[in-house]
Amino acid sequence: MSSAITEKRIKLNGYLIFIFIYLFASSSIIFGGELRIPSYEEVKEHFRGKFQAGMIIGLLIDGKEKIYSMGTKIKGKDYSIDQFTTFEIGSISKTFTATILADLELKKLVNANDEFFKYFPQKYQKTLEAKYKGITLYHLVTHTSGIPRMPSNLGDIIKDPTLLEKYGVSQLVEYLNECKLDFKPGTSHRYSNLGMSILGFVLAKSQNCSYENLVKKHIFIPLGMNRSSLFLSDVQRSNMALGYDQEGNNVPYWNATEIFQGSGFIKSCLFDMMIYLKTYLGLINNPLSKAAELASTPVAKGYPDTEICYAWYKEKIDEDLYITCHNGSTGGFYSFIGYTHPKRFGLVLLCNSKITQEIESQVYEFFKKFGGVLYDNNQL
């Protein structure tokens, strides 16, 4: 073989190796490229006109944290929102209850397959067993129990939210003895505020404490969420956003009895909620890491393109783009928490006005715009 041919082959092999390395590097950009951190103006423009008063957003992008604050915590006044401003987080509270269930389950203090009524006060257990035998904590946390969304003997909480502060165990049992299930347990899925409320109630009973102490012991204290609570502290009140309804009217804060506390009544701030999000993204190792992993694992089918976890939903929102998320809404607040798969992009949004489905679609569009892989044209 001539030296000229050998030299040509060496050059050819070297060229092929270069092409292989180039394509491999390019594919890493295509399938796992950098996520761009949006500018303040981009975020502000994206949500322009979608909220009445103020909003604060926290992003975690490949472990980097960015905060965006817009508007005011009190309409008509130049009171900016910071990461310690307190908001009602509404139904995101359900994910806290779900995390507690996962934590108690891992510690073998309860079993998700336990029938829920066994944790009710003893005098009610026999009557509840006759009707609800087979309905478990698992059914409650996955919204597959068939228990209706809200009890019909509660009244209109939008007009009078104080009804939530008066509803007791006897009223709940009265309703449960009379109500008709929406479907046979475990055969379908329908979102139930009442089902998750019952879960929070019975988990507290199982540990012989109030729900307030339960969430402190299992979530707030282990995570260092010192500015989160069920009932406002003096520190929280000093930096609490006012809540506004869809017409822009200031509305009262929501509180509830032990019956409903586990489904929507936590007050928190962005600083604390980012700790919570980091726990679910696996960015910080803490006593709840395994509970967060269990709670966010899909266990059942839900709506189309949706899987149910423990309270959380894993949704397909675009081609090859999945997010695990939950939202929250009270009379005067809206909230959202979610993250993509793989866990590279996470978001917490807190807003002190009750808004329509329009902002929900804007949140999903935000994930599509900034949570998917962006191509670096300078390297392709």
Q: Which helix (H) or strand (E) holds 189?
A: none
Q: Tokens 């506390």 appear where?
A: 261
47-77 burial, b at 16+ Cβ within 10 Å, e below that, comes to beebbbbbbbbbbbbeeeeebbbbbbbbbee
Tens digits of per-residue pLDDT, 337-374? 999 999 999 999 999 998 766 778 899 999 999 987 43
Tens digits of per-residue pLDDT, 153-201? 999 998 999 999 999 999 999 999 999 999 999 999 999 999 999 999 9
Q: Given this model, what pLDDT does residue 34 score? A: 75
Q: Given this model, what pLDDT does residue 319 score? A: 85
Q: In a 3-state reduction of DSSP, which class is residue 313? A: strand
CB neighbours of residue 287 within 10 Å: 12
What is the residue type of 117? F
pTM above 0.85, yes or no: yes
Contact 291, 96 (CB under 8 A): no
Residues of the chain with pLDDT below 70 are: 1-33, 356-357, 373-380
Contact 325, 303 (CB under 8 A): no
Domain topology for 39-370: Beta-lactamase (3.40.710)
The span from the CA of 195 to the CA of 255, in Å, is: 18
Q: Which residues are 300's β-sheet partners?
A: 308
Query: Which conformational region is residue 71 in: left (phi greater than 0), alpha (psi within -120 to 50 degrees), or beta?
Result: left
What is the residue type of 267? K
Q: Given this model, what pLDDT does residue 162 score? A: 95
How is the chain split into domains, by residue range? 39-370
**What's the Cα-to-Cα distance from 203 to each of 118, 148, 212, 380, rounded to whole Å?**
11, 20, 11, 54
Q: Given this model, what pLDDT does residue 374 score? A: 37
Q: Given this model, what pLDDT does residue 4 score? A: 46
Q: Given this model, what pLDDT does residue 356 score? A: 62
- Spell out where the chain has E strands: 54-61, 64-71, 87-88, 243-244, 250-251, 267-268, 300-301, 306-308, 313-318, 321-329, 334-341, 345-351
Contact 106, 297 (CB under 8 A): no
Token pair of 306 as six digits: 């949706």
The span from the CA of 55 to the CA of 215, in Å, is: 26
